[in-house]
Structures are given as C-alpha cells and as structure tokens.
Chain A
Amino acid sequence: MSASGRVLAELAHRQRPIRLLGASGQLGYGIPARSFGAGLERRPDLIGCDMGSIDIGPTYLGKGEMATSPEATRRDLRRVLRAARDLDVPLVIGSAGSAGAAPHLDATLDLLREIGRTDGRRFRMATMRADIPRGALLDAIGSGHVTSFDGMPDLTREEVTEAANIVGQMGMGPFRRALAADVDVIVAGRACDTAIFASLPALLGFPIGLAMHMAKIIECGSLCCVPGGRDPILATLDADGFVLESMNPDRRATPTSVAAHSLYEQSDPFTMHEPDGTLDLTHAHYEAVDDRRTRVSGAAWRDTTSPTLKLEGARKIGERAVLLCGSADPRFIAQCKDLLPKVAEVVRDLVCEDLPMDYTLRFRVYGIDGVRMVAPDDEPSPGEVFIMAECIAPTRERASEVVRSCKQFLLHHGYPGRLSTAGNVAFPFTPPEVSLGPAYRFNIYHLLRVDDPDALFPVEIEDV
C-alpha cells in the first residue's frame, strides 16, 4: 500500500483531526530546515507545496522555464520528498515548475526521478497535466463557452493559435482521484492552490468550506503570522474548525494576522471563486488558542452548478534588449522627458532608412517615474537618474541594433544649455546594451465553462 492509501484508510477508520503541513509557498527558493524539521515532528498526514503562480508575469509560462534555480529547486524537492517518504505520507505539489504547463511539469518530474535514482528511493507518483488542447479550446470559443473577466478582451482564435502554452487551473477533482489511486507523490500542473491541501480532507468528509479556507492560508506558509515569513505552517483540521501554528517559534498566528491574510493578493476578502464552488468567509471567526496559535471557523461553501476553469496563456511578442545608463547632469535630468523622445526619433530615422518601423523603444527614468504608475509632475529634480531604454523587436539582432544606435546618440545628443559635451550618460559597464531574450505577454486570461472538468485532467501513474 502507498502513502495516500494508508492515510486514507487510517483516517477513515479513526475519526481524529487531520494534520497538514504547508511546507512552502513557491517551492524552489529554499525551505528553512529547522522549522521544516519541527513540522515533521508533528507527524503531518500530508505535506503540501505550492510551486507556481500567475503573479510572476508571463515570461515563465511563455518560455516554458522555471523561475527558480535548478539547484535550489532540486534541494527543495529532495527535502520534501525525503520527508514524505520517511513519514510515509503523501507529498502533494501543485502548479509545478512555476507556471504549470507541460515543460514546467516535465522538468519537475525529471528532477523527482533523478532524486529517486540518486537517493535510491522508489515511490509511486501521480501526475496531472494542466495543458488545454488548442482544438478543444477553439471548439469552446465556437460554442460560446469562453468568457472574459476583469476587462480582458474576448478570446480570439488567433490568440489561441499564437499562445506558446495554455493551461487551465484544475480544482480538487484530479487531486481526489490521485489520492484515491493510492500513491506516494502527486505532482500537478497548473492548479488552484487550495486543491493541494483541501482535497484530502474533502475526500475524508471534512467540511469543504473549512478545508478550503485552511488551504488558502497554509499554501503561503507562515505569511499569515506576525512577523510573516516563509517558514512551514501546520494546520490541524477537525469537523468544526482548524488551528494554525507556524513551525518557527518566533512567528505567531494571531486572530488579526490570520484574518488579514484573506486580504493578500485577493480582490475580495469575503468571497472566493474556485472551479468547484464558492468560498464564503463572511462569517469566518478567528479566536486565539494561545499567544501564537489561532483557531478558525465559520467558512461556508457552495458547490457550483456550472464548473468554470480559469485559463492562462502567454504569447511571444518579440525579442527584448535594453540599454543601461545613468545621468548626473542637472540640466539633462531637468529636460530628459523632452529629450528622450527626440533621441528615439533620431534612432528611428537611422535604423528605418530601408526597413520598416518594426520595433518599440521605451525609456524608463528611475528617479523620476520609472517605478510609479502615477508619479507627480512637481517633484524636485533628483541629483541622479538611471535610464533604461527597452526595445522589443522581431529579432534579437534588430533589438540589439536599435539599443546600440540609441546608446551612441543618447550619449552625444545636443540640447539647449548643455555643458557636459563629452557625453550625456554614465555606463555601469560595457557593453551597456544587454539582450534579454524573448519577451512575452499574457494573451489568455479567460473562463472556460466545462461540463466535466475532470475529463481535462486525467491522472497518470508511474512507479519511480
């Protein structure tokens, strides 16, 4: 019998609270060893890790690469795999490889197989892909099953064709099937964070609202504590509520800090829509157990009548190159918002002499308005600025050509009152033009109505 079978049998037989360890939000950046060890001493029934997000921007999804370094990712995976195997409890990983599409999932699975080989570990692993087949999505557009939200333009067939990777966020169904299939390790592509932790309790008959609320908090580790941090966190769930405790003794889960976690990265702290239903926290109640543990109750759940999946997709928009430089000339700085468009025009006249205007060139002036979406016009001029010129062009060579021309003409651009006629900018190193590789944008962020969401996410099992 494998880990999930054993835990399911034990907890079905003996009615007791279930213990879940939120080992890491965004697996692959390091797991604090001491607090993780403290978590294992509490003998959790499941170790779970969220490994991805849409919050990190479109490049990882588009390019098929992880945000985390291979070494740190391997180290984290080895740590959680070893722990789960030693305790013989299920290890559940969701949104594998930062973005949860096939390349990310496959890279994660390869790391786990490699760890199995080098550590001499054998285990049964369930895998659920999250990639949505293009044909199925095009059909769904045709039958009116794809809708926009948050002001996204309607999804076109062209965007589906051009997307490099397309995933749907799976809910609890695939995880429940994987757990019921009796496995040691579950690795899912793009998935709702909640499904990682709520699926086992749901399978055992715990109230889904409580399980979902608990899952939403512990998938972020000890961020719900004060001071907040990435240490593992233990949730103990019973039929009426759950207790939260950080595995770092210096972090305290207080009623206010836990309640405040519902604000984090959410547009509504009271109502959260999941593929399987809606979580209602209007009557959630937070009570101190002691000065560092809090008991939470009161979450309600409504099953959906119309299952809906959130789709994510990214497409390549070109190749990106940047120019990095700074200025400490007050007259240049005072005029730079007028000067830089003029430099862009000069560059265009040069590089478009026998080619079309096939690129974009943007300047960001850090010290003035490089960071703020809304910056006041009337701030005193800073003594220094950092300027980043960014070109997105069809090819690496074209983007590089544009920023190199930009560098030369920015350096020597004449303007009224200029004193520093030897050069307008400072380069931190040379070459100051850096090619950054392909640029992407999210082109799919839509809802897909499905009759049978489970059919999109089959469970595959292998013995490692």
Chain B
Amino acid sequence: MKLSDIAQVIRTKNAGPRRLTLDIMFGSDADYRRVAQSPALGAANIGRLYRVPAEQVTIIPYPVGRAIKIVMARAMMAGDPGDVDVYGAQQHAPLLGIEI
C-alpha cells in the first residue's frame, strides 16, 4: 500500500528559511500507528529519497495530531539564487509512492 493511499495529508513547507519540514497526517490512530512503525518512514529511507545523510533527518512522531513530522536542512536558503521553491511547499512528491 502506498503512503498516498493511507495518509490524509502529505505536505512540505519551510520551517524558517533554512529548514524543510514534511508533515504526514492520518485519519485514524490505527493508520497513524501502522505508518509510524514502518521503517519506510525512518531517517535512512527518507534520507535516501531526499539525498540527505540520514543523520541530518529528524523524525518526530506526533500522536496527538495523528501525524509524523520530518525535518531536514534545505540544500539552499529560501530565496537564494537557484532556489526552485521559495516556500518549500512542493517537495512532497518523493513521499507519495513510499510502500508501507
């Protein structure tokens, strides 16, 4: 089952101009637990998908919001020359096809 089949929200945005945060939100506690436990949402796999060393990926489970937050440094500061996404709002595509 793909993450896009089970998650209610899959989004990215800047958290300050130097960090990118990915939020994945679920419609039920069961869905949340199932994905939160999956290694597919671990730092190693996320680091591989986003070409960032695993040590630089922070995974924060947020059960009260039925969500998983992932944080990593942006390759370049928001708005720097060569930036492709000033707000960081369209970087979630690599997450959609993750197999759970």
Contact = CB atoms under 8 A, between A and B. Distances in A.
B68 to A, nearest CB: 9
Interface in A421-464: 439-442, 445
A201 interface: no
A287 to B, nearest CB: 11
A152 interface: yes
B66 A256 contact: yes
Contacts of B94: 372, 374
Contacts of A150: 16, 18-19, 73
A260 interface: yes
A441 B77 contact: yes
Nearest to A259: B65
Chain A interface, >50% SS class: loop
A151 B65 contact: no
Given A260-B66, A262-B65, A360 B81 contact: yes
A439 B82 CA distance: 12
A284 interface: yes
Interface string A55-77: 11111000000000000000000
A406 to B, nearest CB: 16
Contacts of A410: none
Contacts of A355: none
A57 B79 contact: yes
B69 A445 contact: no
B4 interface: no
A55 B85 CA distance: 11
Give the interface centre of B49, B50, B64, B78 by most chain A CB atoms within 10 Å: B64
A265 interface: yes
B16 A263 contact: no
A219 B93 CA distance: 29
B79 to A, nearest CB: 4
B67 interface: yes
A58 B65 contact: no
Interface string A268-289: 1110000000000000101000
A364 interface: yes
Nearest to B72: A267
Given A260-B23, A373-B75, 18 more contacts: A54-B17, A58-B78, A152-B18, A260-B25, A263-B67, A264-B13, A265-B14, A267-B69, A269-B60, A371-B84, A372-B91, A374-B91, A374-B94, A390-B81, A441-B79, A441-B81, A442-B80, A445-B77
Interface of B: 13-19, 21, 23, 25, 49-51, 58, 60, 62, 64-67, 69, 71, 73-75, 77-82, 84-87, 90-91, 93-94
30 contacts: A54-B17, A55-B14, A55-B17, A55-B78, A55-B87, A57-B86, A150-B73, A259-B64, A260-B62, A260-B66, A262-B65, A263-B65, A264-B13, A266-B21, A267-B16, A267-B21, A269-B65, A270-B60, A286-B64, A362-B81, A362-B82, A370-B84, A371-B84, A371-B90, A373-B50, A373-B84, A374-B51, A374-B94, A442-B77, A442-B78
